[in-house]
Amino acid sequence: MLMDAGVLPWCPDCRWNLDVYDPALAPWRGTRMIGRWGFRRGLEVDRATHEQLLADPAARPAATSSGEAWLSAVSVVLALLGLAAVGYLVWLAVASDLPPGVRLALAIPAALVLLLVKPSFGRMPTYGVITEREAPHLHRLVREVADAAGTPVPDVICADLSLNAGVARLGWRQRSVLVIGIPLWVMLPRPARASLLAHELGHLANGDPLRVRRTLLARTFGARAVAATGGRNPWRRAVGAADSLAEEGRGTVVLLGMIVHGVLALANVAAATAQLLVDSVAMPDSRRAEYRADLVARRVAGSAPFLQSSETVLLAGRIWQDLWHLAPRIDGGQLEAMAAEARQRLTVHLPLARQLSRRSTDLWSTHPSDDQRMRLIEALPSVDGECGVDDSRWANIDAELAPWRRAAHNALLGTRDRF
């Protein structure tokens, strides 16, 4: 029985009391009542998704889910609202005969609407792009994984220094971009690296970035409004501002300030509530997308490499901390070996880390828990995968990424690498 301070106990062997809402670990969603509901609802979504995918793991995702249809409709309404705001501003500037000061005052609400609904296409990366000329073996591997996953090769491959990896469609042309976090890459066993690529390219094969793009206005409107009204903890800010104004001793100023901050706090709460409702619809689709990308990784790279990659992700923070302590005594070329030693040493923490991950996700988490994802793959027949890479090819890829390993080592040392 685990009895850590502040954490509700459970039995690691029989999993008694594991799937309970734990305020010490669950994301904070404003109130415990909302958090508890979201945690239980997230478990229900995961169970239903597991049943569906276990019944037919090869099934293609639905063209449009009910949640996506709803978010697309909201996005269209917001886009029309933005167009109306543009037309209104044009009318104020060109056709209106109102005094300039009045026009300026009347333009403020429309300008605020445009700030909340303006389209965001994302910027293509300018740093870290890995061209085929610089890394032909890496590009060949990505091409093979993309072919096996059933998707075109990403338009751009780039590296960064995050403990992550991802795909997106960016820029006016919506070009596909694959991002490889080098710290995570060096921590992964070599077969698990192919699984990581297969998972990310699985998102492209399933059309997930396009689904997000079609519903982006609905997904971001509430978050933008929360940011515009000051971010989290609006009532704490309002009370703090009232106290500051009260110290000035001018009654009119205090009253006016309290009204302004009170209105902002109400707008902030309304925006946060709207975002919570939108995420209640959006995140189940996002979680299902992760499961389906995992199935692509299982098929392309194999069951065992996928599980290795998931275990490494669970331990990544601890491994990075170990490497931080070792950094002054090693160089970039030793990172992979030192990460493998740390990973092996930390495997004793895996069972509890897996189970703890279940308590740190809920309905509004973009990803299911690592334990839920691993249990799905473990419940399916083990497969070897379609894409194999021998050690000589991995050695060539490592040589191509050597400058980035040096950059990761320098990041551990607190310096920047320029190459």
pLDDT score of 21: 94
The residue assigned the tokens 């030793």 is 334
CA distance 109 to 103: 11
User: Contact, 187 vs 316, CB < 8 A?
Assistant: yes
Would strands 156-160 and 175-181 be described as parallel, antiparallel, or unpaired?
A: parallel
Q: 3-state SS string over the chain?
A: CCCCCCCCCCCCCCCCCCCCCCCCCCCCCCCHHHHHHHHHHHHHHHHHHHHHHHHCCCCCCCCCCHHHHHHHHHHHHHHHHHHHHHHHHHHHHHHCCCCHHHHHHHHHHHHHHHHHHCCCCCCCCCCCECCCCCCHHHHHHHHHHHHHHCCCCCCEEEEECCCCEEEEEECCCCEEEEEEEHHHHHHCCHHHHHHHHHHHHHHHHCCHHHHHHHCHHHHHHHHHHHHHCCCCCHHHHHHHHHHHHHHHCCHHHHHHHHHHHHHHHHHHHHHHHHHHHHHHHHHHHHHHHHHHHHHHHHHHHCHHHHHHHHHHHHHHHHHHHHHHHHHHHCCHHHHHHHHHHHHHHHHHHHHHHHHHHHHCCCCCCCCCCHHHHHHHHHHCCCCCCCCCCCHHHHHHHHHHCHHHHHHHHHHHHCCCCCC
Q: How far is CA 221 from the centre of its chain?
A: 17
Number of structural domains the chain divides into: 1
Q: Could you tell me if residue 169 is inside a domain?
A: yes
What are φ and ψ of residue 368, in 5° steps? -65, 170
CA distance 366 to 280: 11
Bridge-partner residues for 160, per DSSP? Answer: 181
Q: Could you tell me if residue 154 is inside a domain?
A: yes
Q: Could you tell me if residue 72 is inside a domain?
A: no
- Of 213, 170, 255, 190, residue with least CA distance to 385: 190
CA distance 255 to 239: 12
List the pLDDT tens digit at each of the 419 positions of the chain. 444 546 889 988 888 999 999 998 998 887 889 999 999 999 999 999 999 999 988 877 777 788 889 999 999 999 999 999 999 999 888 877 788 888 888 898 899 889 889 888 888 888 899 999 999 999 999 999 999 999 999 999 999 999 999 999 998 888 999 999 999 999 999 999 999 999 999 999 998 888 888 888 998 888 888 888 777 777 777 677 666 666 665 556 667 767 777 788 888 888 888 888 888 888 889 999 999 999 999 999 999 999 999 999 999 999 999 999 999 999 888 999 999 999 999 999 999 999 999 999 999 998 999 999 999 999 999 999 888 889 999 999 999 999 999 999 999 998 755 44
pLDDT score of 253: 62
Max CA pair span of the chain: 77
CA distances from 115 to 11, 81, 150, 163, 231 (A): 50, 12, 38, 32, 16
Q: Could you tell me if residue 291 is inside a domain?
A: yes
Q: Could you tell me if residue 112 is inside a domain?
A: no
* Structural domain boundaries enclosing 310: 32-60+122-217+279-413
Residues 6+ apart with CB under 8 A from 2: 9, 10, 12, 352
Q: Could you tell me if residue 374 is inside a domain?
A: yes
Q: Could you tell me if residue 190 is inside a domain?
A: yes
**How many CB atoms sit inside 10 A of residue 68's CB?**
19
Residues 6+ apart with CB under 8 A from 329: none
pLDDT score of 241: 66
Pull the structure tokens for residue 188: 């992964």
Q: Could you tell me if residue 347 is inside a domain?
A: yes
